[in-house]
Amino acid sequence: MSIDEPIRLYDESLETDEDYGVLLAGLHLRRTLVRHNGTMAGIQINFSPIAPRAFFGIPAGEVAHRSYQLDVIARSMADELHERVNETSSWAARFGAIDDVLLRATREVEGPRDEVVDSWRQIALSHGGLPISLVADQVGWSRRHLNTQFNAEFGIGPKDAARVLRYDRARRMISSGDLKIADIAAICGYADQAHLNRDFKSFTGTSPTTWLRDDPVARTNQPADDVDEPALIRPRLAGVRK
């Protein structure tokens, strides 16, 4: 969500800009470009893909591959979040307000099937390293049935989820600057460095070395071993300035 100035997203396909106060982004397989005048302030909250059911009563698949103004889906939540985050300059107060709003918004709803949740957990805990055929075997489904059910819930298939999680782990390791990219590729399960480079460019539009050199916040990310489990939100909120 934005602090002071709105978040401005650039749509490459339409060559248009749109401003957001509180942005809800579903699972994406392509990059989203943010425009700013040199500075930008906001708070990013990383939800588990299980969370949209608890907050909005819908599966994550219904908001996949797009970015939304949150007020289109939950106006009162969006208005309160934006107002309370922007009425104070204290980060502690902002984080406390977000906790309060989100905890009050949580509802009792029927969750996804246990097999879908377990599949997500296995893929997440392995950082995308488990073969999808093995994941399907472990939940007792065929790979085809797993793909159908997983896609319906999250908007992407298990293979793409594994790609995203593998890339995300590699990105975090690259941002730390502790290892060579070839070593990171091996640790994260890529065939080689070229394979990592192709996936990285597919998601970001640039190479790992260019990203690390040119992005001013590239070295301020979370540790590589911070793993998404099927909780509602990650246990950490982060204020970001760019």
pLDDT one-digit tens code per residue, 115-150 = 999 999 999 999 999 999 999 999 999 999 999 999
pLDDT class for 241, splitting at 50, 70, 90?
Answer: very low
Q: Is residue 226 part of a domain?
A: no
Residue 150: strand pairing partners: none
Q: Are residues 161 and 191 in the same domain?
A: yes
Q: Are residues 170 and 126 in the same domain?
A: yes
Q: Are residues 21 and 100 in the same domain?
A: yes
Q: Are residues 13 and 103 in the same domain?
A: yes
Q: Is residue 55 part of a domain?
A: yes
Residues 6+ apart with CB under 8 A from 217: 240, 242
Question: Is pLDDT above 50 for 233?
Answer: no
Q: Are residues 13 and 97 in the same domain?
A: yes
Query: Mean pLDDT over residues 167-173, rounded?
Result: 93
Report the greatest alpha carbon distance in the chain. Answer: 52
CATH number at residue 201: 1.10.10.60
For residue 37, the model assigns a pLDDT of: 80
Residue 20: strand pairing partners: 7
CA dihedral 152, 156, 160, 164 (to 10 degrees): -130
Calculate the alpha carbon distances from 212 to 46, 173, 200 in Å.
Answer: 22, 11, 12
Question: Is pLDDT above 80 for 193?
Answer: yes
Q: Is residue 94 part of a domain?
A: yes
Q: Are residues 126 and 98 in the same domain?
A: no
Q: Reduced to 3 states, what is the DSSP secondary structure of residue 18? A: strand
| Least confident segment among 5-19, 37-51, 106-120, 215-229 | 215-229
In the block, residue with structure tokens 């065929």: 142
- List the domain range (segments joined by +) for residue 121: 114-214
- Alpha-carbon distance 218 to 241, whole Å? 12
CA triple 230-59-109, angle to 5 deg: 75
Q: Is residue 2 part of a domain?
A: no
Q: Are residues 199 and 120 in the same domain?
A: yes
pTM exceeding the 0.85 threshold for the entire prediction = no
Q: Is residue 224 part of a domain?
A: no
- Alpha-carbon distance 75 to 94, whole Å? 19
